[in-house]
Amino acid sequence: MEDFTGIDPAGKTPAEIELEWFENVYRGDIPQLTVRAVVTGGLLGAVMSLSNLFVGLKTGWALGIAITACILSFTLGAALHRIRLLGSNLSILENNCMQSTASSAGYSTGSTIVSAISALLLIQGHHLPFWTLMAWTVLLAMLGVFLAVPMKRQMVNIEQLPFPSGLAAAETLRSLYAGQEGSSGKAKGLGIAGVLGGLVAFMRDNRLEWWPGFLKLPGMLDFPGTLAGRSLAAWTVSFEVSGIMVAAGAIIGLRVAWSMLAGGILNYFLLAPYVYEKGIIQELGYKNIVAWSLWGGTALMVSSGLLTFAFQWKTVLSALAGTGRMFKRAASAPADPRLARMDAIEVPGSWFTFGVLFSGAGIVAVQVVSFSIAWWMGAVSVLMTFFLAVVACRATGETDITPIGAMGKITQLTYGVLAPTDITANLMTAGVTAGAAASSADLLTDLKSGYLLGANPRKQFIAQFLGVFAGAAVIVPAFYLLVPTPDVLGGEKFPAPSAQVWKGVAELLAHGLSSLDPTARLALAVGLIAGAALAVLDRFAPARLRPYLPSAMGLGLAFVIPFWNTLSIFLGAAVAFFVRKTRAGAYTIPVASGVIAGESLAGVLAALFSALGGG
């Protein structure tokens, strides 16, 4: 993949690499951290946070938004200039700054809400106090942002790790500003798709009496036929009238999607009817089926994720070794006086020290006061988070995949030993790791974009830091709005598969295998073996065969979401697979992102309207 800096780090000292970038790439003369960029990015990111919350509660995935943020930022800036709300067009680095703010607000604040927080809600049966959740969300995102500070110069500047999404975002911005053919079309495609997605949600979810009945869309289309003497709908075999999962499938890709379809067929057409006829499942419907099936699916995803992580031992060792180099470089004076100019634009080490101490102490305080977790356990969770976030960031830099699930499960297993019966401690300590790792990897991805474009990293950091507050201010109240009571989670509207997995692991560690039905224990054992086998196959199979191997994550996820979601995701992936072979393939991601953003935002507005009595 092309390196837009043109810098080859081979055979050069760290000082030489940084000086070459500073003298040939850095663009300190271009406006970047402006009020209009930060405010607009914060507003844009707040909207995107709603989209990721909506999708996360449905699929358990947090979709990467770096490229979407680029296109939206460019489009919004151009539109505001056209209607004279902005005196001039945003510069490319202002746009990059706006992207950093939007990405932080839209991505860094939601991962723990759809996983650990939602799992805790399912277990306790009541919401956390508003200000407790607000403090928790902000502090976790802040910790992740500050933890990334010492990693940037090592992973981005010196090692030149690719961070593929960051590189793609930089390429997208360059093409937009260069007016390359098709770039404006992508922006228009995203906008049109957003309007259509919002229209579908409005026609489906509105309760307005004056709206013509023939223009209303049903929520679900049932298929004719029966299975084991019951309607297919009772087995969740229906088609949901929604574009979100179809669009998500277009982004996720065909391998994961067909694996999900295979897992869905296995679960809902074969295993669920068998255990129902045996009387193990008393009633049908999504909640009753998944209460049994989640054990096999969870085991498959956990064993595959942890073993895949173990196979990356070189990355782990490199990350831990690099930690020492980070601090050695930060503590020593520049060998070349010219590097003082680099230090003037990099984030100071004092910011890292103060930020980690402040956010880490705040997280421990919330754990002690709100969750009755011993202070030393909270401190251990913060310390573990630093090392695991380093590994997660390196994995993101090398592969573009942030192993948030594996990071969380490592912490869950650790606290399954330290506090074997404390489900709350298990969830909330693991939530620290997952939330902070997501924020760190997100920041480094944005810093990679800025590095390639010649941006000031200190200003980018400030933009990302401010985005945390914009995202939290929206996503926390939105969570209470979308999920007013615990029974909403795990239902047809919000299956919350990530929360189901976290809850299942925590309960299993607390209560032991004896608490499960014998068939569930068998499914768990089979899932563990299957997950490990798929991880081994994916690691050692010939490269030409890997695209045809089932995805362990996709296969396992099919056991914790309804079949109608699996069907929509597969349809979206299949359509995108063929579209990518045509000239329209370049529009796949923008259009899919637009559908998700438009429909999810309309869904949130419909929930708000209903909560205010409009329905």
Task: Check whether 135 has a pLDDT greater than 90.
Answer: yes
On whether the CB atoms of residues 170 and 376 are closer than 8 A, the answer is no
On whether the CB atoms of residues 496 and 70 are closer than 8 A, the answer is no
pLDDT digit string (tens) for 154-172? Answer: 788 777 777 767 777 777 7
pLDDT digit string (tens) for 293-303? Answer: 878 887 887 78
pLDDT digit string (tens) for 72-99? Answer: 777 777 777 778 777 777 788 888 888 8
Rounded to the nearest 10 degrees, the angle between the axes of helix 375-399 and helix 404-418 is: 160
The confidence band for 179, taking pLDDT boundaries of 50, 70 and 90, is low
On whether the CB atoms of residues 94 and 81 are closer than 8 A, the answer is no
- Backbone dihedral region for residue 454 (phi beyond 0: left; psi -120 to 50: alpha; all else: beta): left
On whether the CB atoms of residues 482 and 53 are closer than 8 A, the answer is yes
Burial of 515 by CB count in 10 Å (0-12 exposed, 13-18 middle, 19+ buried)? Answer: exposed
Q: Minimum mean pLDDT among 197-201, 224-228, 312-316: which range?
A: 312-316
pLDDT digit string (tens) for 482-533? Answer: 888 888 887 777 888 888 878 887 887 777 777 777 888 888 889 889 988 9
On whether the CB atoms of residues 510 and 424 are closer than 8 A, the answer is no
pLDDT digit string (tens) for 283-294? Answer: 888 878 887 887
Task: Check whether 562 has a pLDDT greater than 80.
Answer: yes
Task: Check whether 330 has a pLDDT greater than 60.
Answer: no
Helices (H), 419-517: 423-453, 457-482, 497-511
Q: Minimum mean pLDDT among 107-121, 134-148, 263-277, 390-404: which range?
A: 390-404
Query: Between residues 331 and 41, which one has the greater pLDDT?
Result: 41
Please state the rounded mean pLDDT for residues 6-28.
75
Work out the mean pLDDT of the chain and round it to a whole number.
Answer: 80
Task: Check whether 416 has a pLDDT greater than 80.
Answer: no
Both tokens of 493, joined, read: 């509207």
* Percent of the chain residues topping a pLDDT of 70: 84
pLDDT digit string (tens) for 26-70? Answer: 888 888 888 888 888 888 888 778 877 877 787 666 655 666 677
On whether the CB atoms of residues 572 and 250 are closer than 8 A, the answer is yes
The confidence band for 17, taking pLDDT boundaries of 50, 70 and 90, is confident
Q: Measured between alpha carbons, how far is residue 411 from residues 298, 365, 415 in Å? A: 16, 19, 6
Please state the rounded mean pLDDT for residues 456-477.
90
Query: Between residues 246 and 435, which one has the greater pLDDT?
Result: 246
Coil, helix or strand for 494? strand
User: How much is the pLDDT for 2?
Assistant: 43
Please state the rounded mean pLDDT for residues 301-314.
72
Q: Minimum mean pLDDT among 159-163, 181-185, 218-222, 303-307: which range?
A: 181-185
Query: In terms of Cα–Cα distance, which of 231, 255, 280 is closest to 557?
Result: 255
Please state the rounded mean pLDDT for residues 448-461.
88
Task: Check whether 1 has a pLDDT greater than 50.
Answer: no
Helix (H) or strand (E) segment spanning residue 175:
helix 164-178
pLDDT digit string (tens) for 333-354? Answer: 455 566 677 777 888 878 888 9
* Percent of the chain residues topping a pLDDT of 90: 11
pLDDT digit string (tens) for 384-405? Answer: 888 777 777 776 776 566 656 6
Unique residue bearing structure tokens 């690691």:
539
pLDDT digit string (tens) for 122-133? Answer: 888 889 999 999
Angle, CA of 589, 449 and 577, to the nearest 5°: 20
Please state the rounded mean pLDDT for residues 573-589.
84
User: How much is the pLDDT for 389?
Assistant: 77
Rounded distance between C-alpha atoms, residue 603 and residue 615, angstroms: 13
pLDDT digit string (tens) for 353-371? Answer: 899 999 999 999 999 999 9
The confidence band for 3, taking pLDDT boundaries of 50, 70 and 90, is very low
Backbone angles phi, psi at 326, to 5 degrees: -60, -50
17-21, 143-147, 514-518 — which one is most confidently predicted on average?
Answer: 143-147
- Read off the pTM: 0.74
10-14, 110-114, 551-555 — which one is most confidently predicted on average?
Answer: 551-555
Task: Check whether 196 has a pLDDT greater than 80.
Answer: yes
On whether the CB atoms of residues 245 and 58 are closer than 8 A, the answer is yes
Both tokens of 333, joined, read: 């004076």
Angle, CA of 176, 182 and 187, to the nearest 5°: 60
